[in-house]
């Protein structure tokens, strides 16, 4: 069996930046605003925050603890901890689901990261100046319909991800995140202030922060739970892998709360950077997945210094995406490293190249193979469905059940080192609330997918 190595993060700060970097990504800046927009604003945001703290944060604690206790890849850690607890080694399947899920997410995440990269350049080149809504559609569709261009951007994004992961935990991940995360924060604050001066800020604040409960339907709730999982990087290996590099003296409870708070703050700030412009320029808040790529450029095209602001905005999105994609590549790399003794350079190259190749199916889902569907889903839809709707909720539920019901309470307590009263709150949430909450959502999603219209 591979040896457990000692902690790798050089400081608590580096660990927090890395984990916040994993959590903050396309999910916060691309997905969250459009889902909040479609879900009626404040009601979605409120229920989202409840899920983040009641279900997501306890799960982060669980994943970090198991990862740290195992000290291996998610597969190795799950197996090791299960055996130590006198349980079946098959619990390692949770680890497999995470490593494979992260790999699949990476394959399409990189394609969307590639769009972002393309949009940084488009903005700098002045492609948005005076663009009309139709023009913005044409620009976006021209990108999506061109498989070669998409593949080149996808390859560039993946190469950046591999370049960082190759350099190791301290030399690569940690250097990248401690540089990029503060930069992201500064950019975001700048964009919010900018939106505050130029846009309809008050309207945006009301829309995002004052809940209109008539908008709160069951579907909005489900969407919010799915989004909270994705945004907090739950159950797909990233957090468990980062936990394996964590030293014993760091309190996972405090860390998880910090990570969740930062993740939610960034999502809301992204909304506060985007919606003032959406309102000020009379754009559609329910613009959906195209909100960032089709709607926002219209605002950039009209405003003073729009090319610069646009490039900064997409640059911000790019930074957020990269610090997440490295956490999606790392689980697979740590598995190849720990279990098969493959050197990190080689492991990153293999895993990254394979994810790149799989990503080509996502590239083609927008053009050549857009008509090729199974159960009405393109390859991209299938990958998204498989990870978001199956592996993530199931993985999360089993992680919660494992730590809540199959590990000795005393061992869990020792690993968490929490104050007694907080431990009790957490233990209740992870044993009862998380598994039941996820089960409800899971069944609802499957039902919606296959039985309802
Ligand atoms: N949380 C990231 C985002 O919001 C994406 C991500 C990284 C992720 N690692 C993950 C999602 C693991 C689910 C599981 O964009």
Q: List pLDDT tens digits, range 367-388.
A: 999 999 998 999 999 999 899 8
Domains, the chain: 12-450 (1.10.4160)
Rounded to an integer, the average pLDDT of 393-403 is: 95
Output the average pLDDT for the chain.
Answer: 93
Ligand 1: nearest atom to the Cα of 102 = 12
List pLDDT tens digits, range 254-266. 999 999 999 999 9
- Residues 242-281 as b/e (b if ≥16 CB within 10 A, e otherwise) read bbbbbeeebebbebbbebbebbbebbbbbbbbbbbbbbbb
Q: Is 150 in the pocket of ligand 1 (CB under 6 A)?
A: no
According to DSSP, residue 438 is labeled H
Choose the residue to mutate in 18, 20, 22 for probing ligand 1, maximizing ligand atoms within 8 Å of C-beta: 22
What CA–CA distance (Å, rounded) separates 233 from 52?
Answer: 11
Taking the centre of ligand 1 as the mean of its atom positions, its distance from the CA of residue 134, in whole angstroms, is: 32
pLDDT at 21: 96
* Residue 58, phi then psi, degrees to nearest 5: -55, -35
Rounded to an integer, the average pLDDT of 143-171 is: 97
Taking the centre of ligand 1 as the mean of its atom positions, its distance from the CA of residue 351, in whole angstroms, is: 17
Choose the residue to mutate in 324, 333, 334 for probing ligand 1, maximizing ligand atoms within 8 Å of C-beta: 324
Q: Is 411 exposed, middle or buried (0-12, 13-18, 19+ CB in 10 A)?
A: middle
What CA–CA distance (Å, rounded) separates 349 from 68?
Answer: 26
| Residue closest by Cα to atom 14 of ligand 1 | 233
Ligand 1: nearest atom to the Cα of 325 = 7
According to DSSP, residue 3 is labeled P
According to DSSP, residue 367 is labeled T
Q: Is 227 in the pocket of ligand 1 (CB under 6 A)?
A: no
Residue 4 has pLDDT above 70, yes or no: no
Query: Residue 8 is encoded by which pair of tokens?
Result: 């790798």
Q: Is residue 1 very low, low, confident or very high in pLDDT (cuts 50, 70, 90)?
A: very low
Taking the centre of ligand 1 as the mean of its atom positions, its distance from the CA of residue 327, in whole angstroms, is: 8
Choose the residue to mutate in 31, 112, 236 for probing ligand 1, maximizing ligand atoms within 8 Å of C-beta: 236
* DSSP structure string for 154-196: HHHHHHHHHHHHHT-IIIIIIHHHHHHHHHHHHHHHHHHHHHH
CB 208 within 8 A of CB 275: yes
Q: Is residue 33 very low, low, confident or very high in pLDDT (cuts 50, 70, 90)?
A: very high
Query: Residue 304 is encoded by which pair of tokens?
Result: 């003073």
pTM to 2 decimal places: 0.94
Q: Is 110 in the pocket of ligand 1 (CB under 6 A)?
A: no
* Count of helix runs (H) and strand runs (E) in the chain: 22, 0
Which residues touch 391 (CB under 8 Å, ≥6 apart)? 97, 98, 100, 101, 104, 235, 236
Rounded to an integer, the average pLDDT of 117-134 is: 94
Taking the centre of ligand 1 as the mean of its atom positions, its distance from the CA of residue 420, in whole angstroms, is: 31
Residue 127 has pLDDT above 80, yes or no: yes
Q: At what angle do helices 392-401 and 92-124 cross, to 10 degrees?
A: 140
Taking the centre of ligand 1 as the mean of its atom positions, its distance from the CA of residue 113, in whole angstroms, is: 13
According to DSSP, residue 300 is labeled H
Query: Residue 223 is encoded by which pair of tokens?
Result: 């969407």
Taking the centre of ligand 1 as the mean of its atom positions, its distance from the CA of residue 385, in whole angstroms, is: 14
Which residues touch 178 (CB under 8 Å, ≥6 apart)? 13, 14, 17
CB 339 within 8 A of CB 75: yes
Task: Say which residue, 440 or 335, is predicted with more confidence.
Answer: 335
What CA–CA distance (Å, rounded) separates 413 from 177?
Answer: 30
Rounded to an integer, the average pLDDT of 178-198 is: 91
Rounded to an integer, the average pLDDT of 350-360 is: 98
């Amino acid at each position: 069996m591979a040896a457990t190595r000692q902690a790798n993060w050089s400081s608590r700060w580096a660990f927090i930046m890395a984990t916040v970097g994993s959590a903050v990504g396309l999910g916060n800046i691309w997905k969250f605003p459009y889902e909040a927009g479609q879900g009626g604003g404040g009601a979605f945001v409120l229920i989202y925050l409840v899920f983040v703290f009641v279900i997501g944060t306890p799960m982060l604690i669980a994943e970090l603890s198991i990862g740290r206790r195992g000290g291996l890849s998610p597969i190795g850690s799950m197996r090791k901890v299960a055996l130590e607890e006198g349980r079946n080694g098959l619990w390692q399947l949770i680890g497999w689901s995470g490593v494979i899920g992260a790999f699949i997410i990476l394959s399409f995440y990189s394609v969307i990261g590639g769009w972002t990269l393309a949009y940084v350049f488009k903005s700098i080149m002045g492609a948005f100046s005076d663009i009309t809504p139709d023009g913005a559609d044409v620009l976006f569709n021209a990108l999506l319909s061109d498989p070669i261009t998409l593949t080149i951007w996808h390859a560039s994004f993946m190469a950046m991800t591999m370049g960082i992961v190759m350099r190791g935990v301290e030399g690569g991940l940690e250097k990248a995140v401690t540089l990029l995360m503060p930069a992201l924060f500064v950019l975001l604050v700048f964009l919010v202030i900018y939106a505050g001066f130029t846009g309809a800020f008050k309207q945006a604040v009301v829309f995002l922060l004052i809940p209109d409960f008539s908008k709160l339907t069951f579907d909005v709730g489900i969407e919010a739970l799915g989004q909270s999982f994705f945004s907090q990087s739950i159950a797909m290996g990233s957090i468990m892998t980062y936990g394996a590099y964590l030293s014993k003296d760091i309190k996972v409870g405090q860390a998880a709360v910090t990570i969740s708070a930062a993740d939610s703050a960034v999502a809301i700030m992204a909304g506060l950077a985007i919606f003032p412009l959406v309102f000020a320029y009379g754009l559609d808040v329910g613009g959906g997945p195209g909100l960032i790529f089709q709607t926002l450029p219209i605002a950039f095209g009209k405003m003073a210094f729009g090319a610069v602001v646009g490039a900064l905005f997409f640059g911000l999105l790019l930074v957020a995406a990269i610090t997440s994609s490295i956490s999606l590549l790392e689980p697979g790399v740590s598995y190849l490293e720990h279990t098969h003794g493959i050197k990190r350079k080689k492991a990153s190259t293999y895993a990254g190249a394979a994810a790149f190749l799989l990503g080509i199916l996502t590239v083609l889902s927008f053009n050549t193979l857009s008509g090729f569907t199974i159960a009405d889903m393109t390859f991209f839809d299938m990958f998204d469905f498989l990870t978001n709707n199956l592996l993530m909720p199931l993985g999360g539920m089993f992680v919660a059940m494992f730590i809540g019901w199959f590990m000795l309470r005393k061992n869990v307590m020792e690993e968490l080192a929490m104050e007694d009263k907080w431990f009790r709150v957490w233990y209740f949430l992870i044993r009862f609330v998380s598994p039941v909450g996820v089960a409800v959502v899971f069944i609802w999603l499957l039902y919606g997918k296959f039985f309802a219209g």
